[in-house]
Structure 1
Amino acid sequence: MLQNRLRSWLDSDFMWRLSRSPVAIISLLVVLLLVLGAIFAPWLAPYDPYDPATLDLMNGFTPPLTANDFTGQSFLFGSDDQGRDVLSTILHGMRVSLFVGVAAVAFAMVLGISLGLLAGYLGGWVDTLIMRIADIQLTFPSILVAMLIFGIAKGITPVEYRDQMAIWVLIIAIGLSDWVQFARVVRGATLVEKNREYVMAAQLIGQPKLTIMMRHILPNVLSPVLVIATISLALAIIAEATLSFLGVGAPPTQPSLGTLIRIGQGFMFSGEWWILLFPACTLLVLALSVNLLGDWLRDTLNPKLR
């Protein structure tokens, strides 16, 4: 049974289109490589950048593939001002960036889908209230909304818990700034689906509204949501990096790619270019690959674009 399902999946139209798109294949491989590198960072990283016992300040500012004059150690991507291996910090920093991006998109998707279903199916004042809130939020740049939410949440968090809660506050801030696009797409699809025969039949037999929305309408509006989620993942990763670069994101104890870029930016004009270059290139490759993969999914799952 499993073998038949696997063969059917490999012979599907989705896999056929994937095999005919070199850009999608390369993007998928790059994303898988970076994700696996982040997941297995504790085992793949040559050094533990968070263990003070393994750090040696004498290794600071060692250029890539160059032996340190004092210790004789060399690092593939060089070392930073604290003697940390830049490659190890990138692998661990990707864990934070990917976790924040995926969690923020999942939160935005759940919130947006729920509000979109309610607005589209119930209509009336519920639809008006949700859509007016969405319209108001769209008048502000999402990064400013995220900064505002992050500042408010961090302000009401006790000082002793701010570092521990910073990642979760960051996830909530980015998620609350990105739910609108999910809600608008789901609302539009729900307005179409609720007039279908299968929904009317469910209403005639007396099924509850929640059951109709979750069991009948939701599965038929997920295709565009998955595409939006893929593209939003790249935007969420960039938003996290932007907030961390501005100093209002991930704490120094849990540096993300944005934090590493902010640290490297301080040494860019003093000659230590590698501290900024490699984290910035990693962020660029990660966001670009996810975005290209999302564009391919949009073109593949939308029959109007075929």
Structure 2
Amino acid sequence: MTAPLDVPGSAAEAQPESVLAGAGKAIQGRSLTRIAWLRLRRDKVALGGGVVVVLLILVAIFSGPIISVFGHDPLEFHQDAIDQSTLLPQGSFGNMGSEYLLGVEPVNGRDIFSRIVAGAWISLLIGFLATLVSVVIGTVLGVVAGYFGGWVDQVIGRIMDVFLAFPLLVFAIALAGVVPDKGFGLEGNGLRIAMLIFIIGFFSWPSIGRIVRGQTLSLREREFVDAARSLGARHGYILFREVLPNLLAPILVYATLLIPTNILFEASLSFLGVGINPPTPTWGGMLSEAVRFYTLPHFVLFPGLAIFITVLAFNLFGDGLRDAFDPRAH
């Protein structure tokens, strides 16, 4: 049997025009950030969490105008909304209505909506800045430990173990009780906020430090690092130009997951009475005051929902970022 002859112009013959069609089009590469965004865009739950996070940040930034339009001064008493015989809010559901969107607090009649909005910036400020402190310290020490190894890794590793075993909540309660009203050029709640940022950020860095160390141990054995060494690159160049850019994705993901943890910790300290001094509104402080009025569910519900929604939104967004930047998840 003989092979069939290729007839010019037949389907069996590959035409040059069809082979070269589209050859002039440049192949566009996609960066890791572009690929991660395409993956994240398909995750509707994570995008929803990100939208809520952005809205919370905007509420915290523009809390003043929002309160002036939709609420009242968060420190102002409204005795006209309180039944003087029972010291409870007049009307149903804590006097919830058009004048007071979420009702008022018992006894003093302060606007709950305004206090929740005003407390948002404190929770987010402490959460973000404490996370920034943790990320900076943990990244620096984690990269140094993972890259150099040896006795450097051993020393930093033992320091991490000590910090991880430290009773952070007990230390925060003890330190808050001895902090003076003035110090380091700060006073009042300004000093309290700085103290909480220091305690939460400085003592929680080992968690991200261990993750960065593990990633650095893997990256230092990669081909691009060996190539940089063979070309005579110094340690500083390799760390800042080769290793750190490849750590940005895991650092960003873990920072997003660490923010709600820090927000919860601040709310816990305020609930225990060792956080921000009253009458400055905080979500944890509002929950602490609401414990005495268990017959008024709205007094507990709204600040609790604010904490729940904030933590859930950050966690959903962080999980989506982790899946988007992890190539093994797809």
Paired letter, 1:126: V
Deviation at 1:153, TM superposition (A): 6.7
User: Where does residue 289 of structure 1 map in the other structure?
Assistant: 313
Number of residue-to-residue matches in the alignment: 286
| Contact 1:234–1:287 (Cα < 8 Å) also in 2 | yes
In structure 2, the partner of 1:5 is: none
- Three-state SS of the structure 1 residue aligned to 2:260 is helix
Q: TM-score normalized by structure 1?
A: 0.84
Change (3 A) 1:22 1:237: same
Q: Which has the higher helix share?
A: 1
* Cα displacement (A) at 1:190: 1.2
Separation (CA, whole Å) in 1 of partners of 2:174 and 2:100: 38
Answering whether residue 186 of structure 2 is matched by residue 159 of structure 1, we say no
Find the counterpart in structure 1 of residue 298 from structure 2.
274
Q: CA RMSD in A?
A: 2.6
SS for the counterpart of 2:274 is coil
Q: Residue in 1 aligned with 2:198? A: 172
Q: Which amino acid aligns with 1:47?
A: H
Q: Distance in 2 between matches of 1:222 and 1:303?
A: 15
Please report how far the alpha carbon of residue 66 of structure 1 lies from its aligned counterpart in structure 2 after TM superposition: 6.8
C-alpha displacement at 1:182, in angstroms? Answer: 1.1
Residue 172 of structure 1 deviates from its aligned partner by 1.1
Once residues 165 and 89 of structure 1 are traced to their aligned partners in structure 2, the CA distance between those partners, rounded to angstroms, is 21
- Structure 2: unaligned runs, 5 residues or longer: 1-29, 83-87
User: In structure 2, what residue type is equivalent to 1:78?
Assistant: G
Instruction: Give the residue type in structure 1 aligned to 2:204.
Output: D
Which amino acid counterpart does residue 242 of structure 1 have in structure 2?
S
Does residue 1:41 correspond to 2:67, yes or no? no
Percent of paired sites with the same residue: 36
Match of 1:26 among 48, 55, 62: 48
- TM-fit CA distance, 1:93: 0.5
3-state secondary structure, aligned to 2:72:
coil
**What TM-score, normalized by structure 2, do the two folds share?**
0.78
Q: Which has the higher contact order (CA 8 A, sep 6+)?
A: 2
**Does the 8 Å CA contact 2:160/2:206 hold for their aligned counterparts?**
yes
**Deviation sequence 1:224-265 (CA, Å, 0-9, x none):** 111111111111111111111111112214332111111122
Q: 1:265-299 deviations in whole A, cap 9, x for unaligned?
A: 2212xx22212110001110110111111111111
Match of 2:89 among 62, 65, 76: 62
Structure 1 gaps of 5+ residues are: 1-7
Q: 1:222 Cα shift?
A: 1.7
Give distance in 2, aligned partners of 1:170 and 1:244: 10
Contact preservation (8 Å) 1:112, 1:179: yes
**Does the 8 Å CA contact 2:181/2:191 hold for their aligned counterparts?**
no
Deviations 1:208-229 (A, max 9, x none): 4333222221111121111111
